[in-house]
Chain A
Amino acid sequence: MGMNPALNPIVSPITPAPPGSEGAVARHPNYLNVKHTVRSWLLTTDHKRIGILYLFSITLFFFIGGGAATLIRLNLLTPSGLIVDGADYNKLFTIHGVVMVWFFLIPSIPATMGNFVIPLMIGAKDLAFPKINLLSWYLFVFSGIFAFIMITLGGADTGWTFYTPYSTAFSNNYVTLTVCAVFINGFSSILTGLNFIVTVHKMRCPGMTWFRMPLFLWSLYATSVVMVLATPILAITLLLVGIEHIFGVGIFDPKLGGDPILFQHMFWFYSHPAVYIMVLPGMGVVSELVTCFSRKRIFGYEFIAFSSVAIALVGFLVWAHHMFVAGISVYSASVFSLLSFIVAIPSSVKVFDWTATMYKGSVKLDTPMLCALGFIGLFTLGGLTGVMLATLGMDVHMHDTYFVIAHFHYIMVGGTVMAYFGGLHYWWPKATGRMYSEVWGRVTVCIIFLGFNLTFFPQFILGYLGMPRRYHSYPPEFQVYNVLSTAGASILAVGYLLPFAYLPWSLRWGKPAGNNPWRATGLEWQTASPPPEHNFEVTPVVTEEAYAYHLRKAQNGASIAVTSAGVAPVTVVIGPTPEN
């Protein structure tokens, strides 16, 4: 055994913390307590610490974007607009959109949980490029500073979509700053995606074949492909908008032969796939949660894996369904409409697989599972209304109404944010070594679910009745639904604020979690909680499929690796890494 004790000061991952011993979690050397200085955090290349850094930064932006949403909902309480005028309202929804899309949703699951668990899940010590990972975070922060300046100076009013010619020729506020913020943010996203792809290809531990990978990794891989291949187009598009806005040259100006619709093509070539950047990681999280809390092997592993890839690929072929009424060719529009239907297939494959996984499973309604169930329901609703909107003839009527707003909030908030909270609760014990309050967790998820539906379901009706989006006032007959929606938003706000209380509370007073509180499969549960600085003391070797819950129904220990090698889904081999 080539083990030098001096090199292994870390508690062995197969030695579970003594159950119930208060403070045992904090004692072993881990990524949190190995160094304490601010410098050690700001210059860290540890993927786990970078994940935590992202967690803090995107939480900040979540509340900025949420603040803007609060003001929007407050304003729409009365038909004439309660607090702001049209110009300020435009800025509010622009800030809400820009911040939520680029500073929360896109980095949300990949940059926090992805960063944290990818190397753990594949049995690596870190991502392939740890320094680039840190650079990604700094680019994110840098772009965030631009966004801050933009907001404090007064914001832009173009909407998050920057449509030309308004953004280039007419808007006279901080378009350039906003464009800069999003442009730099794009680099952060590209580098994260690049890092993930190379890591998944090159850093997997012995025995971790593609079809033994947890489905979260498949979905993050697909997400990264989209990040890497779509974001550059956004960068160049925004660069052109910025240049035209500053210099007044006519790239999208019809006077000089430019075509504003070309901007929309380029913008949506990124921004539609970006929708899948936001939702695919959520689907990955749900795949993990459903199988773990049903104590059952996932149904249709390959189908879920390939449907992630299919969503990523087909997602690139449908962008012009955002432009049906913009003046594009009707022939082209029909093709795009048809292609848009196709995305529904891999998405529904996933939903069926999740449901089939729960069938006859021993479903346990812990907080993460509640989130997963919320995701499945809300995502299905959002997805089905998406099929309605992809229908060419219907979209002509629904376009730019609250129906669209409700549709994508069901996907983005009901889907992604739900999954984000699910993942946060699921991996919280791993990241912190403590259990949060299960009661408060369940209460919170129920509040979020109720508040969400009350906020956004009335918007389906509003849109169906014809209320257009992006107006600060509306005819009085729409007020009932708007009041309902605002009431729902305040409930939702309570739901989003509650984790702020009980999650930090758990850091000090939570039960020590042990290595594997959920009795889950997967390498991340094999190591200590919180994980040691380099994740695993020895490189693990995988000998089983990802979700072998069917093989270990009877077990109920805190750690699974102590069982005999034939039964455990994962065998940790001590000693030098076998060459593969």
Chain B
Amino acid sequence: MSATATNIHSPPNSGDAHLQHQFKNADQQRESATLGMWLFLGTEVLFFGGLFVSYAIYRVRWPDDFREGSLDLKWYLGGLNTAILLLSSFFMALGVRASQQGDNRRVIRHLLATIALAVAFLGVKGMEYYLEYDEGLVPGESFRLQPPPRSSESALTRGMGSFERWTGKYVPNADEHGQRTRREQLFMCFYFIMTAIHATHMLIGIGLMTWLMMLARRRAFSAAWHNPVEVVGLYWHFVDTVWVFLFPVLYLLRNP
């Protein structure tokens, strides 16, 4: 008869201040949160999927133009970014694990590593955008059909055109005919839109992780309650997975 407000509808000894009134117990709350996130990720699959489907249709339709477009991208930067993102996902997984054990200090450490890697990813991405802008690859008015002629290139360094740009020495990039096709813009459209939407998702993820770190600083997470870390973790791994598909689809079309 010493019932308190929380344990009338929740089993004894869960004693959780984070239990919201509509749930019976912490399990129900956690399962609902995870399911909700998985369902949201399902909508995200379709959101990106719409882009992938239209990309696939155009790719089947204009294989050569898309290949030319892909060759103009810097595969090594894309590859580097993939590695960065996979690593960030690894740290996120460790962060979730730490939260399952209720270790707030390690949660902060792993989240910091994840955020640092995410920022690195965005930095590389920004650099890539700049290089592409510089090479006249942005679709629309500024798209250059006639890039400067290329110097000697092997099959492997193809697409490395502007690598030395950072060191001040300009080595231009161009395709085999010395001429881009108008339809290559279609590929670049998809490249920019897909990567930009992906980057937006990453920014949101960074924001969410910052919020988690603030919670962890207040020692909010415990083995009994760490739903936010788990749910944001799912989101972050999903963003990673999208890139896992974007990388080969956009950057590695050398031999379609």
Docked pose: A7 CA to B9 CA in angstroms: 12
Please classify how large the interface on chain B is, using the bins under 10, 10 to 19, 20 to 34, 35 or more: 35 or more
Given the complex of chains A and B, what is the CA–CA distance between A130 and B22 in angstroms? 9
Flag if A198 contacts B32 (CB, 8 Å): yes
**Knowing A7-B8, A249-B140 touch, does A236 contact B3 (C-beta < 8 A)?**
no
With A129-B36, A202-B32 in contact, is A232–B43 under 8 Å at CB? yes
B183 on interface, CB distance cutoff 8 Å = yes
Q: Which residue of B lies closest to A580 (CB)?
A: B24
Query: Are B11 and A579 touching (Cβ within 8 A)?
Result: yes
B3–A250 touching, CB < 8 Å? no
Of the 9-residue stretches A24-32, A254-262, A344-352, which lies at the interface with chain B?
A: A254-262
Complex CA–CA separation, A266 to B52 (angstroms)? 12
Is B31 in contact with A202, judged by CB distance below 8 angstroms? yes
A112 CB within 8 Å of chain B = no
Question: Which chain B residues (26-53) contact chain A, with CB distance < 8 Å?
Answer: 28, 31-32, 35-36, 39-40, 42-44, 46-51, 53
Query: Which size bracket describes the interface of A in this complex?
Result: 35 or more
**Given A232-B47, A256-B183, also A250-B9 (CB < 8 A):** no
Tell me if B203 counts as interface (CB < 8 A to partner A).
no
B49 contacts across to A, CB distance below 8 A: 232-233
Distance of A115 Cα from B201 Cα, bound (Å): 29
User: A119-127, A281-289, A475-483, A549-557: which lies at the B interface?
Assistant: A119-127
Q: Interface stretch among A55-63, A72-80, A240-248, A496-504?
A: A240-248
Within the complex, the shortest CB–CB distance from B215 to chain A, in Å, comes to 16
In the complex, which residue of chain A has the Cβ closest to the Cβ of B43? A232
Tell me if A127 and B3 are in contact (CB < 8 A): no
The reply on A527 being an interface residue by CB < 8 A is no
Which residues on B sit within 8 Å (CB–CB) of A233? Answer: 46-47, 49-50
Among the 9-residue stretches B56-64, B76-84, B89-97, B146-154, the one with 4 or more Cβ atoms under 8 Å from chain A is: B56-64
Assess the B40–A194 pair: CB atoms within 8 A. yes
Of B5, B43, B50, B51, which contacts A228 at CB under 8 A? B43
The answer, among B3, B39, B54, B190, for a CB contact under 8 Å with A266, is B54
In the complex, are the beta carbons of A125 and B47 less than 8 A apart?
Answer: no
Residues of A within 8 Å of B65, CB to CB, are 257
Does A251 lie within 8 Å of B140, measured CB to CB?
no
A232 touches B46 (CB 8 A): yes
What's the least CB distance linking A572 to chain B, in Å? 15
Whether the Cβ atoms of B21 and A194 lie closer than 8 Å is no
> A262's contact among B20, B57, B62, B193, by CB below 8 Å, is which?
B57
Contacts of B9 in A (CB 8 A): 539, 577
With A and B bound together, what is the CA distance between A384 and B48 in angstroms? 36
With A124-B22, A125-B22, A539-B9 already in contact, the answer to whether A236 and B189 are too (CB < 8 A) is no
CB pair B1 A4 closer than 8 Å: yes
Q: What residues of B have a CB within 8 angstroms of the CB of A237 in the complex?
A: 50
Residues on the B chain within 8 Å of A250, using CB: 139, 185-186, 189
Q: Does B109 contact A (CB under 8 A)?
A: no
Report whether A229 and B47 are in contact in the complex, using a CB–CB cutoff of 8 Å: no
CB distance from A150 to the nearest CB of B (A): 23
A232, B51: Cα distance in complex, Å = 11
Nearest residue, chain B, Cβ from A244: B189
In the assembled complex, B182 has its CB within 8 A of some CB on chain A? yes
Contact A128 B186 (CB under 8 A): no
Closest to A127 in B: B22
Within 8 A of A (CB), among B131-190: 139-141, 182-183, 185-186, 189-190
Q: Roughly how many angstroms separate A243 CA and B182 CA in the complex, as a whole number?
A: 18
A2 touches B186 (CB 8 A): no
**B-facing mask of A193-232, CB < 8 A → 1, else 0?**
0110110011100000000000000000000000011111
Bound CA span A266–B46, Å: 11
Take A257-B61, A576-B8 as given contacts and tell me if A7 and B21 are in contact as well, using a CB distance cutoff of 8 Å. no
B42 in contact with A229 (CB, 8 Å): yes
Bound Cα distance from A570 to B189, whole angstroms: 59
A441 to B11, CA, bound (A): 47
* Docked-complex contact A228 and B3, CB < 8 angstroms: no
**In contact, A128 and B189 (Cβ under 8 angstroms):** no
Residue-wise interface mask of A (131-147) relative to B, using a CB-CB cutoff of 8 A (1 in contact, 0 not): 01000000000000000
Whether a CB of chain B sits under 8 angstroms from the CB of A412 is: no
Taken residue by residue from 1 to 33, chain A's Cβ proximity to chain B (1 for < 8 Å, 0 otherwise) reads as 011100100000000000000000000000000
> Given A202-B28, A257-B62, do A2 and B3 touch, yes or no (CB 8 Å)?
yes
| Cβ-based interface call for A470 (8 A) | no
Q: Indicate if the CB atoms of B57 and A259 lie closer than 8 Å.
A: yes
CB closest residue in chain B, given A231? B43
Q: Is A417 an interface residue (CB 8 A)?
A: no
A198 touches B43 (CB 8 A): no
CA distance A249 to B138 in the complex (A): 10
Docked-complex contact A534 and B21, CB < 8 angstroms = yes
Does A290 touch B at the CB level, under 8 Å? Answer: no
A202–B23 Cα distance when bound, in Å, is 9
Selected A-B contacts with CB under 8 Å, 14 pairs: A2-B1, A2-B3, A4-B3, A125-B22, A126-B21, A128-B23, A201-B35, A202-B32, A228-B42, A229-B46, A240-B51, A243-B193, A262-B54, A579-B11
Q: When A and B form their complex, which 6 residue pairs have the shortest distance between CB atoms, in order from nearest?
A: A236-B50, A126-B22, A257-B183, A232-B47, A232-B46, A232-B43
Supplied contacts A2-B1, A203-B22, A577-B9, 12 more A-B pairs, CB within 8 Å? A4-B8, A130-B22, A190-B40, A228-B39, A232-B43, A232-B50, A237-B50, A247-B139, A248-B140, A251-B190, A258-B186, A576-B8
